[in-house]
Amino acid sequence: MRAARELDRSAVAGGSGARWPRLALAVLPLLLAGCASLSADGGFQQIRQAAEQRLGKAVQRVQSAADQDAVGLRVAELLSKPLSADAAVQIALLNNRGLQASFQALGIAEAEMVQASRLPNPGFSIGRLQRGSERETERSLSFNLAHLIALPLTRQIEDRRFAAVQREVSMEVFALAAESRKAYYAAVAAEQTARYRRDVVAAADAGAELAKRLTQAGNWNKLQQAREHGFFSEAVLNAARAEAARSVSRERLIRLLGLWGAQIAFSLPERLPDLPGQPQERPDIEQFAMSQRLDVQAAKQQAEATAKGLGLSKITRFVNVLDLGYRNNLSNEAPRQTGFEISFELPLFDWGDARIAKAEAIYRQSLQRAAQVAVEARSEVREAYLGYRSSYDIAQHYRDDVVPTAKRISDENVLRYNGMFISVFELLADTREQIGVVNASIEALRDFWMAQADLDMALIGKPRLSAGTAPTAATGSAGPAH
């Protein structure tokens, strides 16, 4: 708009007829088209909708102290009662500072898109020369025509790049949700294991104390007492390891949720959720993942943007630098000089063939990378589903067979003890047999819920598959022989 006014003012000052107003009217639509502006939300609405549709969770970009206060109130509300998996995910999406930093990448990408959509600023120069009594004033106004020619394609490229950034940020949202859910299940399982290990220590301590008294009374030998004490010592070590694992898993959850200060005193439920009645059956899982995976869509869009870039390189091959300018020279000893000039580079040494070859190689590279992303996505979703089904089968086997069998054995031994057919130490030995079964069942249930989170992530983005931890089979403990 300022350039149009300058043109009109110069025309009035020079008195050069109606050509200047006509030129100003011709340039004015281009100037208005170049006034691209930033959006109100910086492209965040798409991220918000994706989180609501795919996760059923809210996200908020913290832009002010009021936003931060609102997030703090919501986090405090969710932490006021024992934390659930859904609450943990919601807290992470609102309170994780790393995710908030990624949200700012949207603003950066949109600013670059808007910048690429605007017309280049015109160049204006003025000079005043004096030779003796002669004084000459030179004024010129110029536009970069090469930039103007490439503007539509440049806008398309930046639009695709901005959409790719939106998908990348959405993928970060989904990845954080999956990792937070997995960390939650790991923390609950660690709490449950640590609590059970403390109970084992109490039982082992009672057995060791009884063995000590029987040895002092002469009813047991020192070897039998040493075995009971050894079991107690091992139970203490295992409890210490469980406490360390509990602290590590809890701290990882704290980091993902972005908690600090009094917030870290949140409480977790005493045990993991029960296993679902039936596993998911997904015969079309690969096709579904290919239509939903954000990394596949981003790779495809990147290849399309690169193709557009190749077309742009060909267009600007011979007009790499092309300027159009208007000149208006004044002299006190000569008539006014008006006219225009066009300047461009002569392709005498660099014909642009190397730039074209580079663009084509980059395009072929992007195609191969997109194909590799698709291959990896198919493999990852198959692996995630296989892990989900196998972990379900294992956890179900512990729930329906291994644990009930161990309980029946324990009940039978209690009956035998009550009938004075076995001693208290044989009963304690049976308790040791059950320790491995209980720990393995907790691990199997934990692995299932983590596999569920991996599968959910694999359907919409690149997952970080958990390393398979096969539950340890229950074996006989080195209890005292009777």
332 shares its domain with 441: no
> Is-contact 59 96, C-beta < 8 A?
no
219 shares its domain with 291: no
252 located within any domain:
yes
244 located within any domain:
yes
214 shares its domain with 300: no
> Is-contact 383 465, C-beta < 8 A?
yes
Q: Which residues pair with 144 in a beta bridge?
A: 323
Task: Tell me how far apart the alpha carbons of residues 50 and 284 are, in angstroms, rounded to a whole number.
Answer: 22
239 shares its domain with 294: no
- In the block, tokens 């109606």 appear at 18
Token code pair at residue 447: 């692995």
Q: Domain containing 382: what range?
A: 274-317+365-476
CA distance to 26, 27, 62, per residue, from 343 (Å): 22, 20, 48
176 shares its domain with 299: no
Beta strands at 322-331 and 134-144: parallel, antiparallel or unpaired:
antiparallel
Number of domains in the chain: 2
200 shares its domain with 310: no
284 shares its domain with 264: no
141 shares its domain with 243: yes
Q: Degrees (nearest 5) of the Cα angle 460, 461, 466?
A: 110
Token code pair at residue 105: 């990448």
415 shares its domain with 295: yes
Sequence letter at residue 437: V
253 shares its domain with 312: no
The full 3-state SS of 217-264, as one line of letters, equals CCCCCHHHHHHHHHHHHHHHHHHHHHHHHHHHHHHHHHHHHCCCHHHH
Concatenating the DSSP letter of every residue in 201-220 gives HHHHHHHHHHHHHHHHTTSS
pLDDT by 10s per residue, the chain, length 482:
334 333 343 333 444 444 445 544 445 455 444 556 666 677 788 899 989 988 999 999 998 899 999 999 999 999 999 999 999 999 999 999 999 998 988 888 878 777 777 777 777 788 777 777 777 777 777 766 666 666 776 777 777 778 878 888 888 999 999 999 999 999 999 999 999 898 888 888 877 887 888 788 887 778 878 887 888 888 899 999 999 999 999 999 999 999 999 999 999 999 999 999 899 888 888 888 888 888 887 787 777 777 766 665 554 444 444 445 555 555 555 666 566 555 555 555 545 677 777 777 877 887 888 888 888 888 999 999 999 999 999 999 999 999 898 888 877 777 776 766 666 667 666 677 788 888 899 999 999 999 999 999 999 888 888 765 444 444 444 344 33
Token code pair at residue 302: 């990147």
Token code pair at residue 229: 């004490």
- Given its phi and psi angles, is residue 226 left (phi above 0), alpha (psi -120 to 50 degrees) or beta? alpha
57 shares its domain with 102: yes
288 shares its domain with 149: no
